[in-house]
Chain A
């Protein structure tokens, strides 16, 4: 048997990504979805805000959000939230699809470390989210006057990576539940609204009651949104958001460790019960 090396492990990740992208491209209708959905996703919120305050900025909004312009605020929330959506639905669905296709047995009966397969699944989900996010940003820059300077791109990407790592941990937990319960879609749907409600996607975290703010503090999206908005809207540097970065790092480590532990535990449990390849 060939020993594992960085090269062979990266080859697993690469092939997993390639496989998932080819699945997507096998269904051309997905391009229509990618083209339209980003616009449908956030434009209603902007129009709703405009209807409420009679324009694209509000002083009342500025008092709690730190910026009067709610369009950039909503765009940032929407872009980051698209990573939440793909993480919640992507990996669990991918595991379920493997079981449905009858390939899960073969994947699990291979000698490679399953972590690399899961990383491959996560990376392919992130790639599709990035296409989403870039579409949304492009629309915002073209039609809503959002400014994106070159200097903030690297710090924003850094925060984005921290967010995505934490989301991978949650995705691993959902993938684990998919192994056992097969249908984790509804749980993902519920979690989507947990993120949506308790993280400052469309409104500042200060709009929430105190207890809800505490719940929001358990979610990585909350810290990523606060940090990205500080960088992009308030023109602050990374040093101004070091607390958010530290908390994100801690959450990432905790969520990924729990995610892998839960996946391995559930894999063993379903191998014992004989449910592993059922769908």
Chain B
């Protein structure tokens, strides 16, 4: 789908019909190889089934200086899109340009224009110090030695890492390592930042610091930022516009407020409860056949986050009594009831027809509240 943007705008990121297909890796090892050989004889349709459409004709336009969110659950295609833009993956169809450069034909210029941060534990050399890591990557960005040294000192100061710059990263906390990862992305002062789950696995304090830095990089330094996240509140809090992505397709693109307005007209109910039994979702659906979406969002034992029952559409509010009665009969403890306050999560549920959210998505509200 096309995005609502003004043609007068200057775009830092543009994709048109971007498509990426992966072969499903069902077979591994020598036995898998032998099995695959046998499967070669099977029909063409079966071969098509063995492909995963990671990106399905994605059209996006991100304005220069915009903080643009890419919101979707794990496996939605966010990382694939970021990697295609970062020239780490080669798309199968379509075109993409970053800072005006074609990602397939002008790779060197694209690479010089972007700073890349991918969430996760290991993206740096843990046996090296923060300074060594940054000096190494500065050299990969063609900085002369003297300039690299100066810039590394500057960036260590900005990121508040100077005191521990000469310690190995293996002695850093996860949050500090993520700060080094962001410092690396900023080394060459790129106009475009591609941030893929930059707060993944961080505690609330570091998450807040990182989010504050992201906001500052966009608002005060004029960077264009593509922020891929599955934390709904992060996208809501930070982004000028958000694209909701699911199964490799862009379901909607707009500002968080306008996206939420899409579901504001609808009746919305959220019931927070503890340990709902398996099968309750189907039971509740049967009890409320006129409610468009009845969905159980699973809780998270690690953080003791309770599960939520989301109801959306006509007669959702009228059905609250029926649902509460059904839950009480099952001895499910209800901890809160929220009526009529849409979040991006509700938008996501509406647009994807109630696609299952990931554990991380469920936790993010709690994270946000804790912060």
Contact = CB atoms under 8 A, between A and B. Distances in A.
Interface residues of B, number: 45
A276 B111 CA distance: 17
Given A1-B109, A102-B122, A112-B139, A19 B132 contact: yes
A106 interface: yes
B184 interface: yes
B140 interface: yes
A109 interface: yes
A7 B122 CA distance: 30
A105 B88 contact: yes
Contacts of A217: none
Interface stretch (A8-16, A121-129, A130-138, A254-262): A8-16
B83 interface: yes
Given A15-B136, A102-B120, A2 B142 contact: yes
A12 to B, nearest CB: 5
Interface in B130-152: 132, 135-137, 139-145, 147-148
Contact of A108 (B22, B88, B109, B137): B88
A268 interface: yes
A26 B129 CA distance: 11
Interface string B40-51: 000000000000
A8 B86 contact: no
B90 interface: yes
Question: Which one of A7, A15, A108, A273 has the greatest number of beta carbons of chain B within 10 Å?
Answer: A15
B22 A110 contact: no
Contacts of B88: 105, 108-109, 271, 276-277
Interface string B95-118: 000000000000011011110101
A159 interface: no
Interface in A222-279: 268, 271-274, 276-277
A2 B141 contact: yes
A273 B20 CA distance: 9
Contact of B135 (A15, A101, A105): A15
A254 to B, nearest CB: 27
Most B CB contacts (10 A, CB to CB) among A100, A272, A274 go to A274
A101 B125 contact: yes
Nearest to B145: A11
Contacts of A16: 136
Contacts of A276: 88-89
Given A1-B188, A2-B141, A276-B89, A103 B127 contact: no
A48 interface: no
Contact of B112 (A1, A18, A271, A272): A1
B172 interface: no
B144 A273 contact: no
B123 interface: yes
Contact of B90 (A103, A110, A271): A271
Interface string B69-93: 0000000000010010011111010
Instruction: Give the interface centre of A16, A100, A103 by most chain B CB atoms within 10 Å.
Output: A103
A207 interface: no
Contacts of B120: 102
Among B109, B125, B140, B148: residue with most chain A CB under 10 A: B140
A272 B108 CA distance: 18
B142 A19 contact: no
Contacts of A4: 142
A112 B140 contact: yes
Contact of B144 (A7, A108, A117): A7
A33 interface: no
B109 A12 contact: no
A164 B143 CA distance: 29
B116 A109 contact: yes
Contact of A1 (B132, B136, B142): B142
A1 B114 CA distance: 11
A273 B139 CA distance: 29
B357 interface: no
From A7, A19, A109, residue with most partner B Cβ within 10 Å: A109
B126 interface: yes
A14 B132 CA distance: 12
A148 to B, nearest CB: 36
A211 interface: no
Contact of B22 (A23, A268, A274): A274
A111 interface: yes
Interface string B200-224: 0000000000000000000000000
Interface string B336-356: 000000000000000000000
A109 B127 contact: no
Contacts of A63: none
A107 interface: yes
B124 interface: yes
19 contacts: A1-B141, A7-B145, A8-B143, A8-B144, A11-B145, A16-B136, A23-B128, A26-B168, A103-B122, A105-B83, A105-B118, A109-B111, A110-B137, A111-B111, A111-B142, A271-B88, A272-B92, A274-B20, A274-B54
Given A111-B112, A111-B141, 12 more contacts: A1-B109, A7-B144, A11-B145, A11-B148, A14-B139, A26-B168, A101-B126, A106-B116, A109-B88, A112-B141, A112-B142, A272-B90
**Minimum-distance CB pairs A-B, first 6:** A110-B140, A1-B112, A102-B122, A111-B111, A15-B139, A26-B127
Interface of A: 1-5, 7-8, 11-12, 14-16, 18-19, 22-23, 26, 100-103, 105-112, 117, 268, 271-274, 276-277
